[in-house]
Amino acid sequence: MRNEEILYERKRADMVKRQIESRGITDKRVLAAMAKVPRHKFVSEAMWDQAYSDYPLPIGEQQTISQPYIVAEMTQALELTKDDRVLELGTGSGYQASILAELVFKVYTIERIYALYVKARKLFDNLKYHNIVTKYSDGTYGWESEGPFDAIIVTAGAPSIPQVLLDQLAMHGRLVIPAGGKQSQELIKLYKDENGIHQTNLGGCRFVKLVGEYGW
Ligand code: SAH
């Protein structure tokens, strides 16, 4: 292994221990994925030394890659198993999708900004994430032809929870979405079963806007 890779592997182990395990994330598969995916590759080279810090970073086009802890918290909340098919809205850098790709059978991810979509697609190919399917469009419509999904994750803040996404959620499916105002939101988890939709609030958060038909 090259020296640089050893350095980043150490930084990742440290990130998992100090930022993620210490704040109560216990899902072993999630911790292993966070320790494995090379987060620095998802930001510009000028920011590689900050890639494992405890905050979000800019990824261009006025968008951001979430803080590592938020990625871990949302991923754990999805309660993923290896046969799951997951839909993500807001590909961004592709980091969250790559974490998901480590944990499930197939990831479907949608991005509305062309430059980010192209960049993430190339990165998935370079890193050999062959189980990630990408799409350039307004994700607030979901991806009906590929649904229903075992889990859906929205990585941009929505004004409310789009009904189409609930419709594309499989029985016993989980949806995690930041919903609320333009500046700050609540992280909401929804679970679908025979009795309907069950909602839990995971706490306050700050995401960039979900822009589109059922967004802002
Ligand atoms: N998950 C990303 C972080 C995304 S930031 C990562 O791991 O890096 C939020 C992203 O959602 C931005 O790239 C933004 O362009 C995208 N977005 C906003 N509204 C969208 C929509 N309606 N459909 C698809 N993507 C959207």
* Confidence category of residue 147, pLDDT binned at 50, 70, 90: very high
A 10 A CB-CB count for 55 gives: 11
44 is catalytic: no
From the CB of 140, is ligand 1 less than 6 Å away? yes
Taking only the tens place, the pLDDT of each residue in 152-208 is 999 999 999 999 999 999 999 999 999 999 999 999 999 999 999 999 999 999 999
* Confidence category of residue 209, pLDDT binned at 50, 70, 90: very high
From the CB of 132, is ligand 1 less than 6 Å away? no
CA atoms within 13 A on the CB side of 103: 26
Q: Ligand 1 pocket test: which of 111, 164, 216 has the largest number of ligand atoms within 8 Å of its C-beta?
A: 111
- In this structure, which residue's CA is closest to atom 18 in ligand 1? 210
Q: Which of 53, 66, 93, 160 is catalytic?
A: 66
pLDDT of residue 21: 98
Ligand 1 centroid vs 142 CA: distance in angstroms?
13
Tell me the whole-structure pTM to 2 decimals: 0.98
Pair 105, 151: CB distance under 8 Å = no
pLDDT of residue 2: 82
Locus of tokens 């789009």: 162
Going from the N-terminus, what domains does the chain have, and what CATH number goes with each?
Answer: 56-205 (3.40.50.150)
* Confidence category of residue 8, pLDDT binned at 50, 70, 90: very high
Q: What is the mean pLDDT of residues 140-157?
A: 98
pLDDT at 215 over 90: yes
Helices (H), the chain: 3-15, 28-36, 68-77, 95-103, 114-126, 163-167
DSSP 127-142: TT-TTEEEEES-GGG-
Taking only the tens place, the pLDDT of each residue in 53-81 is 999 999 999 999 999 999 999 999 999 99
* Confidence category of residue 1, pLDDT binned at 50, 70, 90: low
